[in-house]
């Protein structure tokens, strides 16, 4: 018998509200009406305008025939249309699946297989990539997709801008009303987030309206965010971190302003902090490194408005944490350990620098149940490393439509197995210590080696391939593939790059380094010795 999560047991928690995210948007609109809600590189909208634009697309999507509970893939980069489309899908009672702009055929087709979505809403172009040919191919191959909707000027079956016009007609005719859409219950699935690590089939994370709002609210509380807060969404907003930790949702909940960075370059990030007087932002360590460097030599950059810098998604080296504290002394560093599955740990704004440098803080909710266990799932003493497990108000009890994976990733009693090594410190904080389950954390994006290995082995000339994570100064870890060829001929990285790109794999999963090998180094029990491979990969550069 699988564990069933009882949401009612969390009723009474401060910040817990049984409400749909659509009704929540109505509430914040009534509260903060003419304040600026969101700014992107093109324009800004007030809360009231945001709500109205959500309605326009929602009526348009409804007229098209998208029904409650239908799944809709949303693949749009950091711009206003992402936020408006996301909440429009939610408003009609449908369920958005948040896809990263970096996803290609492999990832999108994987999502389709698991979730049978009815619509795919995709940006026309971003960062030089034309999504249309890919999206059309995907739609042709899929039996579930009925609508290809494009955020842009051309292509697909429908354009967002035409859907807006059609939605406006409903509203102008006076036929639109509050009862038009089917209301979702706060305990229904509100969004499907994507898990970083996939093993062939992507893992979809069903977050309920209520738990996701709670996630954003508790995060905002920990950051002491209020209506004067200006949040910069610097990471891709399909990620949980910038979307809801506190991110867009947590900041809008307190009436603050959200600024969307259209790309993740240090130039864009630092200039927006200066221009928009940003008070809080979230970065991964690899981006932080570049931003620190740039702020040192560019004198026009003024980051004096920045009060809180959240850093998470991957291990933050102590030396880099110390560098932030020394160089950006007016702002508070907050370490964030987070997962899209739920659990969030933040260091506290009142913690001493030494604590902030050395750990990833405490769970953000009093109702979080966090355990650190050995391989028999028994708790280990404080100060010892084990696997981090979590259950609680906003942590999922299982992935969507994935019984087999759930048996491995969750305990019988409903704890999520993060696959991360962690320990409790003296002060009761958690300190992370790398991965237990195989996964490469490349600048915050997660790669599962077996997914890449399986694709590589589809190459006729490849007999065996092993992918490992190699410590890297800039990326945290880079990925390196070792190749044993069928014919003894060596592979260049170029060839591997094109092969995997043609297979439709997201760019960040393509190995940064390619090495050829004749004989595998083996462990004493005869398995491929991956530690040895990592050393080999490092030695090439020494
Ligand atoms: C965030 O979420 P995901 O789902 O992309 O990745 C979660 C994994 C964790 O299991 C852990 O392996 C790693 O990312 N991680 C960290 C970390 N924060 C996340 N490893 C070491 N130190 C940290 N501070 O990455 C995410 C979601 C919400 C907020 C922040 C990050």
- In-domain check, residue 163: yes
pLDDT of 394 reads 98
Same domain, 388 and 317: yes
Same domain, 254 and 338: yes
Same domain, 137 and 114: yes
Same domain, 385 and 453: no
Number of domains in the chain: 3
CATH code assigned at 482: 3.30.300.30
Confidence of residue 437 (pLDDT cuts 50, 70, 90): confident
- In-domain check, residue 25: no
212 lines ligand 1 (CB under 6 A): no
- In-domain check, residue 468: yes
State the Cα–Cα distance between residues 530 and 523, nearest whole angstrom.
9
> How far is C-alpha 232 from the chain's CA centre?
15
246 lines ligand 1 (CB under 6 A): no
State the Cα–Cα distance between residues 359 and 365, nearest whole angstrom.
18
CATH code assigned at 308: 3.40.50.12780
pLDDT of 542 reads 61
Distance (Å) from CA 56 to ligand 1 centroid: 35
Judge whether residue 421 has pLDDT over 70.
yes
The 10s digit of each residue's pLDDT in 345-400 is 999 999 999 999 999 999 999 999 999 999 999 999 999 999 999 999 999 999 99
What angle do helix axes 209-222 and 21-32 make, rounded to 10 degrees? 40
Judge whether residue 292 has pLDDT over 70.
yes
Judge whether residue 196 has pLDDT over 80.
no
The 10s digit of each residue's pLDDT in 319-343 is 999 999 999 999 999 999 999 999 9
Same domain, 406 and 498: no
Query: Of 421, 436, 451, which marks where a domain is finished?
Result: 436
pLDDT of 202 reads 86
Nearest to 107 by CA among 416, 514, 483, 510: 510
What Cα–Cα distance (Å) separates residue 154 from each residue in 41, 136, 148, 157? 21, 13, 12, 9
- In-domain check, residue 147: yes
338 lines ligand 1 (CB under 6 A): yes
Same domain, 517 and 481: yes
pTM of the model: 0.95
State the Cα–Cα distance between residues 356 and 369, nearest whole angstrom.
22
State the Cα–Cα distance between residues 240 and 253, nearest whole angstrom.
16
Same domain, 356 and 487: no
- 378: tokens are 């028994």
Q: Roughly how many angstroms between the first and final C-alpha of the chain, as a whole number? A: 53
pLDDT of 346 reads 98
Pocket residue to mutate for ligand 1, from 103, 337, 385, 439, most atoms within 8 A of Cβ: 337
| Percentage, residues of the chain above pLDDT 90 | 92
> How far is C-alpha 217 from the chain's CA centre?
18
pLDDT of 197 reads 66
The 10s digit of each residue's pLDDT in 130-172 is 999 999 999 999 999 999 999 999 999 999 999 999 999 999 9
The 10s digit of each residue's pLDDT in 15-44 is 999 999 999 999 999 999 999 999 999 999
Judge whether residue 468 has pLDDT over 80.
yes
Query: Of 375, 403, 436, which marks where a domain is finished?
Result: 436
Pocket residue to mutate for ligand 1, from 237, 249, 282, 313, most atoms within 8 A of Cβ: 313
Distance (Å) from CA 542 to ligand 1 centroid: 30
Asked whether 209 and 20 are in contact (CB, 8 A), the reply is: yes
Question: In 273-284, which positions are buried (b, 16+ CB within 10 angstroms) versus exposed (e)?
Answer: bbebebbbbbbb
- In-domain check, residue 162: yes
Cβ atoms within 10 Å, residue 428:
10
Asked whether 539 and 505 are in contact (CB, 8 A), the reply is: no
- 232 forms beta bridges with 259, 281
310 lines ligand 1 (CB under 6 A): no
Same domain, 473 and 520: yes
Same domain, 445 and 432: no
246 preceded by a cis bond (ω within 30 of 0): yes
Same domain, 316 and 459: no
CATH code assigned at 140: 3.40.50.980
Judge whether residue 527 has pLDDT over 90.
no
Same domain, 428 and 448: no
Q: Residue 514 belongs to what domain range?
A: 441-541
- In-domain check, residue 26: no
420 lines ligand 1 (CB under 6 A): yes
What Cα–Cα distance (Å) separates residue 506 from each residue in 66, 101, 358, 447, 511? 28, 9, 33, 10, 11
Nearest to 354 by CA among 383, 318, 379: 318
- In-domain check, residue 394: yes
- In-domain check, residue 39: no
Confidence of residue 179 (pLDDT cuts 50, 70, 90): confident
Helix residue ranges, H only, 378-492: 403-409, 449-456
Same domain, 69 and 168: yes
Query: Of 419, 436, 453, which marks where a domain is finished?
Result: 436
């Amino acid at each position: 018998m699988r564990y069933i999560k009882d949401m009612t047991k969390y009723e009474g928690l401060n910040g817990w509200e049984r409400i749909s995210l659509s009704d929540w948007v109505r509430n914040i609109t009534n509260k903060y009406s003419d304040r600026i809600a969101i700014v992107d590189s093109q324009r800004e909208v007030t809360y009231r305008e945001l709500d109205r634009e959500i309605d326009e697309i929602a009526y348009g999507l409804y007229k098209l025939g998208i029904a409650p509970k239908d799944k809709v893939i949303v693949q749009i980069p950091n711009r206003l249309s992402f936020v408006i489309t996301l909440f429009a899908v939610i408003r009609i009672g449908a369920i958005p699946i948040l896809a990263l702009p970096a996803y290609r055929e492999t990832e999108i087709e994987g999502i389709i297989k698991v979730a049978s979505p009815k619509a795919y809403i995709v940006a026309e172009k971003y960062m030089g990539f034309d999504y249309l040919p890919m999206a059309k191919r995907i739609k042709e191959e899929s039996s579930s997709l009925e609508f290809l909707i494009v955020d842009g000027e051309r292509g697909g079956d429908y354009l967002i801008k035409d859907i807006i016009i059609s939605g406006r007609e409903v509203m102008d005719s006076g036929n639109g009303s509050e009862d038009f859409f089917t209301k979702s219950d706060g305990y229904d699935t509100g969004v499907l987030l994507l898990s970083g690590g996939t093993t062939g089939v992507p893992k979809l994370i069903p977050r309920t309206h209520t738990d996701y709002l709670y996630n954003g609210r508790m995060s905002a509380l920990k950051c002491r965010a209020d209506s004067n807060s200006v949040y910069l969404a610097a990471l891709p907003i399909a990620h949980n971190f910038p979307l809801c930790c506190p991110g867009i949702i947590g900041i809008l909940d307190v009436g603050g302003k959200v600024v969307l960075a259209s790309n993740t370059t240090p130039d864009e990030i630092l200039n927006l902090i200066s221009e928009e007087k940003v008070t809080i932002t979230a970065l991964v360590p690899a981006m932080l490194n570049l931003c620190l460097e740039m702020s040192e030599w560019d004198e026009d950059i003024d980051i004096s408005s920045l009060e809180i810098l959240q850093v998470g998604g991957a291990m933050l080296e102590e030396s880099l944490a110390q560098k932030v504290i020394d160089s950006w002394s007016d702002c508070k560093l907050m370490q964030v350990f987070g997962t899209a599955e739920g659990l969030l740990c933040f260091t506290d704004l009142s913690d001493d620098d030494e604590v902030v440098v050395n750990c990833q803080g405490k769970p953000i909710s009093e109702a979080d149940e966090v355990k650190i266990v050995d391989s028999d799932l028994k708790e280990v003493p404080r100060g010892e490393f084990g696997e981090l497990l979590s259950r609680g108000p906003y942590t999922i009890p299982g992935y969507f439509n994935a019984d087999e994976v759930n048996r491995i990733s969750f305990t019988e009693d409903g704890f999520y197995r993060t696959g991360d090594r962690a320990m409790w410190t003296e002060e009761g904080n958690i300190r992370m210590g790398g991965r237990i389950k195989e996964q490469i954390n490349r600048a915050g994006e997660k790669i599962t080696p077996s997914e890449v290995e399986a694709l590589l082995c589809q190459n006729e000339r490849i007999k065996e391939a092993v992918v490992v994570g190699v410590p890297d100064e800039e990326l945290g870890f880079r990925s390196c593939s070792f190749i044993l060829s069928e014919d003894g001929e060596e592979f260049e990285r170029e060839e591997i790059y094109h092969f995997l790109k043609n297979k439709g794999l997201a760019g960040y999963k393509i190995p940064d380094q390619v090495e050829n090998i004749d004989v595998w180094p083996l462990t004493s029990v005869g398995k491929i010795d991956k530690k040895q491979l990592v050393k080999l990969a490092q030695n090439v550069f020494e």
